[in-house]
């Protein structure tokens, strides 16, 4: 791929397209580095798949946004998200004429943006490439999204060697680079000593002498009975351990909120709060005793702070974390969640083994590696 300034005689024009909060957390460190680089013209296009939660991250990193497709609508579906992005991104790509489009991970935004770039024969770079569960319906639609992006992309920035091997199994070997995960880069901006929380509910909490459990659960495949099981297990944990404070930033999805509030809203020492700023989230993670989550990104983030993670899913596309011992996949059955959390709360050796395991997701320099690859002759 001829992208470098020396060959083309000008700065390369890199368009980053993203639309959800998790993408923004991982793309903003890279965008920030590109904005500072003299050989790169950085262009940011938001799709607006998320709105409020997305802008929290954009504002925190202070990056410049050039285009906003503003697709978010009440009752949006996977189909309406995909078709709206394809339709609206067409004119943006034709106008901006980027040399390459960068997408991240496995969202519907990323798949639709990669497809839109392909339709205009614009090279695509896939940040966080090569994650797989090999079950196209779990996580849904993310597994199929990332597989399809993998077929479209010209450059594949794999966080780990295991991700590179996954791509090789699919005969994707050209343009593949192991870079580490950009989320580790984000901590240089978001995590500080003596941090003061933005969220007033977090500022009120007294963490002294308490063991804080941070919990998040919102995935489509966990809606219904799995989420009920998760909440019932959390309730039992808090009732059994009087020194535990459980903090749950609850996703805005009404289907999530209804279940969570029904089971947990009146439980003492359970704090149900709205989704929080990325800096609040990262610093809260760092202050936590344990994280319980069905999030993909948090499986990478929390271990960087030496905090064990119980994964509230039946599988993970991040097996290197499980192999390293920083996370444990416990499923979505109430008893299994409860027993695994109880073990970490009562067994110091089991806790220390997870807390001291080495995080496999990099050293905080993934963005620099990606930029060097983009500029390579």
| Catalytically active residues, by annotation | 106, 128, 142, 218, 220, 251
CA pair distance 359, 70, nearest whole angstrom? 36
Q: Cβ distance 3 to 374 under 8 Å?
A: yes
Q: Counting every residue, how long is the chain? A: 377
The answer to whether the peptide bond before residue 126 is cis (omega within 30 degrees of 0) is no
Nearest to residue 334, comparing CAs of 240, 233, 263, 224?
233
CA pair distance 191, 287, nearest whole angstrom? 11
Nearest to residue 334, comparing CAs of 248, 236, 221, 224?
236
The dihedral built from the CA positions of residue 227, 231, 236 and 242, taken in this order, carries a sign that is positive
Exposure b/e, 76-109, CB count within 10 A at least 16 = b: eeeeebbebbeebbeebbeebebbbbbbbbbbbb
**Where does 154-277 show beta strands of DSSP type E?**
155-158, 176-178, 211-216, 244-249, 270-273
The dihedral built from the CA positions of residue 255, 259, 261 and 262, taken in this order, carries a sign that is positive
CA pair distance 208, 64, nearest whole angstrom? 39
CA pair distance 121, 264, nearest whole angstrom? 50
Distances 180 to 42, 106, 164, 231 between C-alpha atoms, Å: 21, 17, 11, 33
């Amino acid at each position: 791929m001829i992208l470098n300034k020396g060959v083309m005689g000008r700065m390369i024009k890199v368009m980053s397209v993203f639309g959800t909060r998790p993408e923004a957390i991982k793309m903003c460190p890279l965008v920030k580095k590109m904005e500072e680089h003299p050989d790169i013209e950085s262009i940011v296009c938001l799709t607006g798949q998320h709105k409020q939660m997305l802008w929290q991250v954009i504002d925190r990193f202070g990056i410049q946004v050039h285009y906003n497709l503003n697709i978010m609508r009440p009752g949006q579906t996977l189909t309406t998200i995909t078709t709206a992005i394809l339709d609206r991104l067409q004119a943006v790509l034709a106008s901006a004429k980027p040399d390459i489009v960068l997408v991240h991970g496995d969202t519907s935004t990323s798949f639709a943006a990669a497809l839109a770039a392909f339709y205009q024969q614009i090279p695509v770079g896939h940040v966080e490439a090569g994650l797989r569960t090999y079950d196209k319906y779990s996580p849904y639609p993310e597994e199929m999204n990332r597989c399809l992006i993998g077929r479209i992309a010209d450059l594949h920035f794999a966080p780990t060697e295991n991700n590179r091997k996954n791509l090789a199994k699919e005969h994707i070997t050209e343009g593949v680079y192991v870079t580490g995960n950009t989320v580790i880069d984000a901590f240089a901006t978001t995590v500080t000593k003596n941090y003061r929380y933005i969220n007033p509910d977090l500022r009120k909490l007294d963490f002294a002498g308490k063991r804080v459990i941070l919990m998040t659960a919102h995935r489509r495949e966990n809606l219904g009975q799995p989420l009920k099981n998760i909440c019932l297990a959390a309730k039992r944990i808090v009732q059994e351990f009087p020194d535990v404070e459980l903090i749950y930033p609850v996703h805005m999805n009404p289907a999530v909120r209804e279940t969570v509030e029904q089971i947990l809203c009146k439980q003492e020492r359970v704090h149900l709060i709205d989704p929080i700023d990325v800096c609040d989230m990262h610093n809260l993670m760092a202050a936590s005793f344990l994280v319980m989550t069905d999030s993909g990104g948090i499986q990478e983030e929390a271990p960087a702070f030496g905090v064990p993670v119980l994964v509230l899913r039946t599988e993970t596309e991040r097996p290197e974390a499980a192999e390293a011992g920083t996370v444990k996949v416990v499923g979505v059955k109430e008893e299994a969640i409860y027993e695994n959390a109880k073990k970490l709360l009562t067994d110091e050796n089991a806790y220390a083994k997870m807390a001291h395991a080495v995080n496999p997701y990099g050293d905080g320099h993934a963005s620099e590696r990606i930029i060097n690859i983009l500029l390579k002759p």
